[in-house]
Chains A and B, each alone.
Chain A
Amino acid sequence: MAYSDKVIDHYTNPRNVGTLDKSSHKVGTGLVGAPECGDVMRLQIQVDDNNIITDAKFKTFGCGSAIASSSLATEWLKGKSVDDAMKIDNMDIVEELALPPVKIHCSVLAEDAIKAAINDFRVKNGMEPIVLEKSHH
């Protein structure tokens, strides 16, 4: 199976690889997936007082499409408000990276990671977690 140029680009030059201080109340961490399924994503956001995401970092265990999906997600998150970040849909990632049907689960995982990071941030700051509908595959 051939990868799209955008997947190869994100895979070869992944953006925003790294770790933020997960103990900070300004940082939300989402850890999704499972080692036995072959993908685990950790996505972190740093949020300022105006609810704007100022930084985002990821680390991913998974195939090229999983790495590219999380790399792209961090790029999109930076500069967005938390509310807008909530609206990122996995199908946007599928479209941007031209993922084939067998790789759609990678984009679902990235969306789940974003939402998990936002909820972690909310809970840390005394807000209710947003109840998530099951993402569509």
Chain B
Amino acid sequence: MNIPIYLDNNATTPMDPRVLEAMLPYFNEKFGNAASRNHPFGWVAEEGVDYAREQVAKLIGATEKEIIFTSGATESDNLAIKGVFEMYKEKGNHIITAVTEHKAVLDACKHVEKLGGRVTYLPVKEDGLIDLAELEAAMSSETILVSIMYGNNEIGVIQPVKEIAAIAHKYGALFMTDATQAVGKIPVNVIADGIDLLALSAHKMYGPKGVGALYVRRKGPRVKVTAQMDGGGHERGMRSGTLNVPGIVGLGKACELAGLEMESEAKRLSALRDKLQNALTVLEESYVNGNVEHRLPHVANISFKYVEGEGLMMAMKDLAVSSGSACTSASLEPSYVLKSLGLSDDLAHSSIRFGLGRFTTEEEVDYAIEVTKKSVNHLRELSPLWEMFKEGIDLDSIEWAEH
């Protein structure tokens, strides 16, 4: 067992050695530009890209012409939201999204607002799911796009995508989903789910960083987005720029492997995750954040009340995890995702996200349980709040000095 143990697979995943192996030839011997149409160097590179396009399409039930390669999910989200807004502005200017979306979606929406768009940010319920009735109430004839993520990066909650798509379509709007955390982890099918645009990223599924894709539906309806990057007209004119051939080949291979191994991997990971969660919620005053039934198989977000997340992570230095605590970011604001579930700031500060992955072993999970328990208990011994709680003092009755 190697220390530290990596349990931050929602941030990024290590690359699968089989992916690396598939990519390597495309750095040197197959170095051609996939857009070079008149010599074998270009053809070989193009073949690699074409094959990867099929691999990506197959994983999500799409056809290869519907896959636009990008630099990652952030770019895909931007292209989808800004691109739809520009393309469909004759039809309407209203976009609906949710408060728990990734910043790539939220900030692209804010950009659209500056351009005269109107955006509705749906709240979420305590369990992190959106309320379908609220979505429907927000729909209007002006609504051109509904953008709701598939699985949440912080709490792993899976939104009812199929039902959301049906509501969007009922009002003539397109449905886009940021599926960065879901693709390759759970079955995602653009036809069955009714998805018109979908963003995905390679490095969240054991592929390389710096490459992703946007699925853009071609039939029923034919969806178009206005390019956000101008140039040589690559990717059917929707995303110019020389293709990142090794990255794309890696993304393709990562999708192929995910398709083959997802089912057994999800079973294994959810069993390990449940073991971790059950062992840690034995601790007093520990709470799982978000819906536990509609949740990605490898994620558990747990708040340990009366200890602060960053302090806790320092004690758990043998584990690489992440926290919703303000102290981990420059903003000094705790996680907006946890706060939108209605969590108080102190519980948001006390949260730890465990993200298991393909290379996580049971031995590592057992060790993580021990380290976490020990660290929580240690920090509670240091915590004045824990002492007050144990003495039966109501912390809400104290007038805290904000600083």
Residues from chain B with Cβ under 8 Å of A108 in the complex: 403
Stretch at the interface among B32-40, B89-97, B325-333: B325-333
Pairwise interchain contact A60-B384, C-beta atoms closer than 8 A: yes
With A36-B345, A108-B403 given, is the CB distance from A41 to B384 under 8 Å? Answer: yes
Query: Does B395 touch A at the CB level, under 8 Å?
Result: yes
Judge whether A3 is part of the interface by a CB distance below 8 angstroms: yes
Q: Which one of B309, B349, B386, B403 has the greatest number of beta carbons of chain A within 10 Å?
A: B403
Docked complex Cα distance between A105 and B332 (Å): 11
Q: Is the CB of B382 within 8 A of A63?
A: no
- Interface secondary structure of B, over-half rule: helix
Q: A33 near B325 (CB under 8 angstroms)?
A: no
Is B403's CB under 8 angstroms from A35's CB? no
CB distance from B175 to the nearest CB of A (A): 37
Contact yes or no, B401 A32, CB < 8 A: yes
Closest Cβ of chain A to B53, distance in Å, is 40
Contact between chains at B314 and A61 (CB < 8 Å) = no
User: Which chain B positions have C-beta within 8 A of A11?
Assistant: 311, 314-315
Q: How far is the CA of A14 from the CA of B378 in the complex (A)?
A: 11
| List of A residues within 8 angstroms of B400 by Cβ | 33-36, 40
Please report which residues of chain A, range 23-40, place their CB below 8 angstroms from some CB of chain B when the two chains form the complex: 31-40
Closest-by-CB residue of A relative to B380 is: A61
Which listed residue, A31, A32, A35, A66, touches B311 by the CB 8 Å rule? A66
Q: Is B385 an interface residue (CB 8 A)?
A: yes
Is B346 part of the binding interface, using a Cβ–Cβ cutoff of 8 Å? Answer: yes
User: What residues of chain B lie closer than 8 Å to A64, measured between beta carbons?
Assistant: 310-311, 314
Other-chain residue from A31, A63, A102 in contact with B384 (beta carbon distance below 8 A):
A31
Residue contact B403 to A105, C-beta cutoff 8 Å: yes
- Let me know if A99 is at the binding interface, CB within 8 A: no
**Chain B interface residue bracket vs A:** 20 to 34
Over the window 62-76 of chain A, the binary record of Cβ atoms lying under 8 Å from chain B Cβ atoms (1 yes, 0 no) is 111011000000000
Q: Are A59 and B384 in contact (CB under 8 A)?
A: yes
Interface size on A, residues (CB 8 A): 30
> Given the complex, which residues of B lie within 8 Å of A78, measured CB to CB?
none
Whether B334 is near chain A, meaning CB under 8 Å from some CB there, is yes
Residue in chain B with minimal CB distance to A105 = B403
Chain A residues near B307 (CB-CB < 8 A) = 61
B306 at the binding interface (Cβ < 8 Å): yes
Q: Which of B382, B386, B401 contacts A33 (CB 8 A)?
A: B401
| Contacting pair B326 A61 (CB below 8 A) | no
| Docked complex Cα distance between A74 and B349 (Å) | 25
The verdict on A17 contacting chain B, using a C-beta distance below 8 Å, is yes
Name B residues whose Cβ lies closer than 8 Å to a Cβ of A.
Answer: 306-311, 314-315, 325-327, 330, 334, 344-346, 349, 381-387, 395, 398, 400-403
- 7 inter-chain pairs at a CB distance below 8 angstroms, sorted by A residue, are A11-B311, A11-B315, A17-B381, A34-B401, A63-B314, A66-B311, A108-B403
- A-B pairs, top 10 by smallest CB distance, nearest first, are A36-B345, A34-B400, A35-B346, A42-B384, A63-B310, A59-B384, A64-B314, A38-B349, A63-B327, A61-B383
Kindly list 4 other residue pairs between chains A and B, CB separation below 8 angstroms, not including A32-B403, A59-B382. A36-B346, A41-B384, A61-B382, A63-B308
